[in-house]
Amino acid sequence: MYLDSLRLSDVLFRSARLASRIIRDSNALKILSIIERGYDVSLNSDFRGLLTYAYINKVLSFLLLREPKHKLLRNLRLRLLRQRSSFLIHLKHVVEALDACRIDYVIFKTLRPVPETPVDIDVLVESKDDAYSAITCLRRRFRVEIWDEDRYSIGIRIPKFREYIDFYVEPHVADFVYLDSKALIRNRVCLHIDELGVEMLVPVPRPELEFCSILAHSMIKEGLVTLNDVISLITYGLLSNSDKLAQWLSKFSLNVAYGEFFNVLEGDLPAKIGHGARFKVLASLLREKYAVSSLPYFILGLGKRLNRIIEQQKRVTYIRGLER
């Protein structure tokens, strides 16, 4: 299977229309209406509030996809486009280095249909040895700093690019594995990106599996659902084979997460996942071997990571700052 970024863009606007039918948040509905109808925007007090709302919901670039007439908004849009262009150039260098390394990998949760620049680059590999090999390959081209390492992942930074890259052996939160990495890697496709003068082929999970990875990331790892998440999931749902998507949701034990995801759309976005709902989602994963086998490490490391978990619960959103 082969995906094209232009196809993602085409489906994206259909997804925005569908999102407006299931979301109750009035600010989200205003933004989706502006995007769909192509209204020009001004800097009145109402729209200033929408800009902040779009920023924390990671849809600011989507809102300003069409060039506005207002000079300050045009400048903001230009700044976002420059940031996006720099990120894509950096990603291309990283992908070229990883391809030369000859390891199996996918870029996941990173290249979403909504054209927002992500916080970092998430790379899924099959083993810690593969992660170390990838870092070695990157070091042949750039200076690399390792800033964090735990049982299932290694976080690095490339100072030249000011980019952060997380290498995952397993998708996890506090050493609790919530998704089968091998399934994502083995069911990959090539995404052809041709955007802002940058062209490349990137290995990514199939739409059905990227749907599952974004759903699990929002409901389990972040405990937070943004408008970006909603539109991205609808887009991947439209690109998926519905029967296969249902099979993967069942295989990953994510049906409970899927149901709870729709429950939060009754309120405002970003929506925090309540403790009760999150517990139900986590409990449903305990039928999976990869989750059960990671449970002792999660329990042992809970005290060490408690402060980080508490801080994460306080977050309103997670976004890439405009200065990067």
Output the domain CATH number for residue 39.
3.30.460.40
In-domain check, residue 322: no
pLDDT of 9 reads: 80
In-domain check, residue 324: no
pLDDT of residue 2 exceeding 90, the answer is no
Q: Residue 110's closest CA among 65, 50, 168?
A: 168
10 pLDDT band, cuts 50/70/90, is: confident
pLDDT of 159 reads: 96
In-domain check, residue 156: yes
Pairing mode, strands 121-125 and 105-107: antiparallel
Residue linked to tokens 């439209």: 238
In-domain check, residue 321: no
pLDDT of residue 244 exceeding 70, the answer is yes
In-domain check, residue 234: yes
In-domain check, residue 13: yes
pLDDT tens for each residue of 178-190: 999 999 999 999 9
pLDDT tens for each residue of 43-66: 666 788 899 999 999 999 999 988
**Global confidence as pTM:** 0.94
In-domain check, residue 323: no
The CA–CA distances, whole Å, from 136 to 62, 97, 103, 120, 133 equal 36, 10, 12, 19, 5
Average pLDDT for the chain: 91
Query: For the chain, how many structural domains are there in total?
Result: 1
pLDDT of residue 39 exceeding 70, the answer is no
Range of the domain at 165: 2-314
Of the listed ranges 65-69, 149-153, 194-198, 204-208, the least confidently predicted one is 65-69
Maximum distance among all Cα pairs of the chain, rounded to whole angstroms: 57
pLDDT of 13 reads: 92
pLDDT of 300 reads: 85
pLDDT of 6 reads: 75
pLDDT of residue 310 exceeding 60, the answer is no
